[in-house]
């Protein structure tokens, strides 16, 4: 039986068709991204020792042998300070000095340093009062949009609130006005009550496989408190790093060396309107295991063949 459902956070309409996962598939290997072995490459601008090939460094954390993480100006920025219609600042944040490092094999400590860099660059960019939103995201491997293999994330300040985030905020605002309760609190309470889609839960964060999502196999990490991303303390960054380290080890077990995207959705800044009562910081983790076909592209309806309960069980950790 097929079901037509709506994602409560985005309002995306999704057709649940779990039996489609049993479709016969041609035995064709479409895996173009091979697992990286080399720890250093002379021709990689992001490897430690090749710093002369990158733009100006804006931030770095150093260890005994040199830098651990660093952020640099993007040589080919999506936005800059020259346009009147949309302007901002674009940096590339190098996740690790190891060419073969990635979210699947990084340590808790490496994740912590990475998150510290995310926060530092966020706080710095937020000082510009013309900035209305700061986007932190990651593309891993070519099929997820990465142009270079060396693991890196990106941060962009924008003079507008992007439509995706504005849509989520408006949906949560309408829910709050109607129910006098945060939509995110409702989702967190519902998932904890049902339990089957929960991957991990503690006092600060909830990690789930949503039942309804247009991206097959998507994982969402919710902040339980009203804290904004830039307000996270060191202990909270360490705990978030611990969660990500364990999650990606599990994802590697389930999906293998698979491309993915990460999007951190946090609050608009430098605006009169506040959203803490109805909106929560959350992270979308999207494995690029499945792609959209003609049906999705021609109808704006999305088909999900994922059994969220089963996937959460495979990914669950303590």
* CA gap 51, 32 in Å, rounded: 28
Contact status, residue 57 vs residue 120, Cβ threshold 8 Å = no
Assess if residue 29 is contained within a domain. no
Assess if residue 286 is contained within a domain. yes
pLDDT, position 25: 38
Report the interhelical angle of 234-255 vs 308-315 (nearest 10°).
Answer: 110
Give the domain range for residue 164: 3-20+41-315
Assess if residue 90 is contained within a domain. yes
pLDDT, position 108: 98
Which sign does the torsion angle of CA 25, 26, 31, 32 carry? negative
Provide the 3-class DSSP secondary structure of residue 230.
helix
Assess if residue 25 is contained within a domain. no
Question: Would you call 26 exposed, middle or buried from its count of C-beta atoms within 10 A (0-12, 13-18, 19+)?
Answer: exposed
Q: Domain with 192 in it: what CATH number?
A: 3.30.428.10
Question: To 5 degrees, how large is the angle CA 114–CA 218–CA 27?
Answer: 110
* CA gap 282, 224 in Å, rounded: 9
pLDDT, position 291: 74
pLDDT, position 31: 53
| Structure token digits, residue 250 | 């599990």
222: phi then psi, degrees, rounded to nearest 5: -100, 135
pLDDT, position 99: 97
Assess if residue 28 is contained within a domain. no
- β-bridge partners, 92: 72, 154
Based on the structure, what is the number of domains in the chain?
A: 1
Assess if residue 30 is contained within a domain. no
* CA gap 17, 6 in Å, rounded: 14
Assess if residue 26 is contained within a domain. no
* CA gap 78, 89 in Å, rounded: 8
pLDDT, position 264: 98
For the chain, how far is it from start to end, CA to CA, in angstroms? 34
pLDDT < 70 positions in the chain: 1, 19-32
């Amino acid at each position: 039986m097929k079901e037509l459902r709506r994602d409560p956070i985005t309002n995306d309409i999704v057709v649940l068709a779990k039996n489609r996962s049993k479709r016969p598939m041609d035995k064709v290997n479409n895996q173009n991204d091979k697992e990286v072995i080399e720890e250093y490459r002379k021709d990689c601008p992001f490897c430690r020792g090749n710093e002369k090939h990158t733009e100006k460094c804006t931030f770095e954390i150093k260890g005994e042998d040199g830098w651990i993480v660093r952020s640099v100006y993007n040589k080919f920025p999506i936005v800059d300070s020259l346009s009147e219609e949309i302007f901002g600042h674009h940096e590339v944040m190098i996740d690790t000095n190891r060419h073969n490092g990635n979210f699947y094999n990084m340590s808790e400590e490496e994740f912590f340093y990475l998150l510290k860099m995310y926060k530092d660059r966020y706080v710095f960019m937020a000082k510009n009062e013309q900035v209305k939103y700061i986007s932190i995201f990651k593309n891993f491997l070519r099929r997820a949009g990465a142009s270079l293999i060396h693991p890196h994330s990106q941060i962009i300040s924008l003079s507008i609130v992007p439509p995706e985030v504005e849509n989520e905020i408006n949906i949560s605002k309408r829910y709050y006005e109607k129910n006098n309760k945060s939509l995110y609190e409702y989702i967190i309470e519902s998932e904890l009550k049902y339990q089957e889609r929960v991957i991990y839960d503690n006092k600060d964060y909830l990690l789930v496989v949503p039942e309804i999502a247009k991206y097959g196999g998507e994982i969402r990490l919710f902040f339980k408190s009203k804290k904004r991303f830039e307000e996270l303390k060191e202990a909270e960054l360490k705990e978030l790093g611990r969660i990500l380290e364990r999650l990606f080890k599990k994802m590697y077990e389930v999906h293998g060396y698979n491309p993915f995207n990460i999007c951190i959705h946090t609050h608009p800044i430098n605006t009169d309107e506040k959203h803490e009562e109805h909106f929560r910081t959350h992270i979308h983790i999207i494995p690029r295991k499945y792609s959209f076909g003609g049906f999705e592209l021609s109808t704006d309806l999305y088909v999900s063949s994922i059994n969220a309960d089963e996937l959460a069980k495979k990914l669950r950790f303590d």
